[in-house]
Amino acid sequence: LTVQQNSDTVLGGLYTKTKDNNLYKGNGDDKLDANDPVVTGIIVNAGATLVLVDQFSTGYANVRLSNDFVIYGTVTSDAILGFYLDANIIDVEGGGTITASSTAPDTSAKEIHLGSGQNLTMQVINRGTIEAKGTGSGNGGAIFIIADNLVIHEGTLDTSGGSSISGQGGNSGILDI
């Protein structure tokens, strides 16, 4: 499911508004109005992929939830630089993945920011995979985890650079917890 920007044409679909950190659940009437509730928490089920969009034209997708963001599937973004997630608890369960890894040859990964240090993200729990891997000569991306109370890490964190058979591989990215 790709989050739509400024478009409420799908009943139950998710959308963002320009310069707004919230996600909204659309009612399919193609009107961006008060009839579309703000999403306060979300569960990405196993096998599902949630693609976030850049609603600020900054190169980053931004999502802020007042409750929990639970990930059994995959969360990624089509923003060119990466994404920011804020939620009361960000919980990546076993089999769940947050990824900003490169998918094109010889390309660097994007950034992942979990929490912002603004008393919005209390806990980040990782039992799955959080990755920002480069490909070929591309560098790994940065992963920043900022929780105001607790970080639990029992999974995989990967910021590795790409490996190239024809030249120099990429450098590892930053990991900051």
Q: What pLDDT score does 39 carry?
A: 96
Q: What pLDDT score does 124 carry?
A: 98
Q: What pLDDT score does 32 carry?
A: 83
Write down the residue that tokens 């976030």 correspond to. Answer: 52
Q: What distances in angstroms separate CA 118 from CA 33, 106, 148, one per listed residue? A: 28, 35, 8
Q: Which residues of the chain have pLDDT under 70?
A: none
Q: In terms of pTM, does the model score above 0.95?
A: no
Calculate the average pLDDT of the chain.
94
Q: What pLDDT score does 141 carry?
A: 98
Q: What pLDDT score does 166 carry?
A: 83
Tally of CB atoms within 10 A around 21: 16
